[in-house]
Amino acid sequence: MGLVATGCGGGGKEAGGDARPADTAPPVTQPAPAVGTSTVATAKVASVKVLAKPGDTAPPIHTLANPTESTAPLVFLTERTEGDWILVNLPVRPNGSTGWVKASDVTISTHDYKIVVELSKFKITVFKAGNVMLSEPVGLGKGNTPTPGGKFYIKELLQPPNPNGVYGPYAYGLSGFSDVLTSFAGGPGTLGIHGNNDPSSIGREASAGCIRMSNTGITQLAKILPLGVPVEVLK
C-alpha cells in the first residue's frame, strides 16, 4: 500500500506521492510479558492461502501476497491455534474478517503493545504491558467520512517522501478500511494513523477517516512499535 491508497485525505495541503516502508521499527524477537501480550504471524512464503476453516478442502477464501504492495512483510494478528492452523485477523474487507492460515506458512512473534483510540474524546493512548507510554489528542474523520470503530492492527509502517506533507514523517497502514470510501486517491480506502502538516486539525474532525496525531508522537512510535500491534477504535 502506498499512501495514495489510504483514506487519509481531507483538510491537508498535500495528498499525493508514494511512500516507502520505513525501516526504523525493530522486529520483535523476544517473548513479551504476559500482561497484554499479542501474537503476530509473519508470512514466510510468497503467498498465503486463507481458508474458511482449518484444513478446508474448498478453494481458499483469500490468497494474499508476501510482501505486500508496499513491499512491507505480510503480517496477521492472531486469535488462536488449532493443531497446524492459526486463526488470524485479515487485512481485507469487510472490517473484522478472519480466516485460517497454515502454521508452516508463518513465523510467530509476540509483543506487549496496544493502541486505543477513543473517538468521543479525540484521543489516542498507547500501552506497553498495560502501562500508558503515550497519550495525546488526535484528528479524526469528518462527518461524511467518519473514522470507523472496531478492532484493527498495524500492518505496515510507511515513510512519506515529504515529511512536511499531509501525512507527516510517518504513517501506519491499518488492517481496516473506511466504511464510506471504497476507493481513495487510487487505493482501496485503507485506514491509517499518521502525522500531519496542519496542527489545527488535531482534536477535531478533519480527515477522510484516518487518525492524525502529532509529528512528535508518530515519530516516537515509529522507532518503537513492531507490526501487528492491535488498534482498538472505540466509538
Q: What pLDDT score was predicted for residue 63?
A: 98
Q: What is residue 32's predicted lDDT score, i.e. its pLDDT?
A: 37
pLDDT band of residue 5 (cuts 50, 70, 90) is: very low
Across residues 42-67, what is the average pLDDT? 98
CATH 3.40.50.10490 fits 38-111, yes or no: no
Domain ranges for the chain, please list them. Answer: 3-24+112-234, 38-111
- Answer yes or no: is pLDDT of 35 > 60: no
Question: Residue 215: in which H helix or E strand, if any?
Answer: helix 215-222
The yes-or-no verdict on residue 16 having pLDDT over 90 is no
Instruction: Please state the pTM of the whole predicted model.
Output: 0.89
Give the span between the Cα atoms of 229 and 221, in whole angstroms.
Answer: 11
Q: How far apart are CA 69 and CA 15, in angstroms?
A: 19
Closest CA relative to residue 92, chosen from 72, 76, 114, 79:
76
Query: Which pLDDT score, from 0 to 100, does residue 19 have?
Result: 75
What residues contact 220, with CB distance under 8 A and at least 6 apart? Answer: 134
Mean pLDDT of 167-183: 93
Active site residues: 194, 210
**27-36, 68-77, 178-187: range with highest mean pLDDT:** 68-77
Per-residue confidence band for 21, with pLDDT thresholds at 50, 70 and 90: confident
Domain 3-24+112-234, CATH: 2.40.440.10
Question: In whole numbers, what is the pLDDT of the chain averaged over residues?
Answer: 89
Mean pLDDT along residues 155-168: 96
pLDDT at 94: 97
Residue 6 pLDDT grade (very low, low, confident, very high; cuts 50, 70, 90): low
**Helix, strand, or coil here: 82?**
strand
Q: What is the pLDDT of residues 120-137, one digit of tens each?
A: 999 999 999 999 999 999
Q: What is the DSSP letter of 195?
A: -
Mean pLDDT across the stretch 52-57? 97
How many whole angstroms separate alpha carbon 77 and alpha carbon 90? 8
Q: What share of the chain has pLDDT > 90, as a percent? A: 81
* Residue pLDDT, tens place only, 185-227: 656 889 999 999 999 999 999 999 999 999 999 999 999 999 9
- Position 61 pLDDT exceeds 90: yes
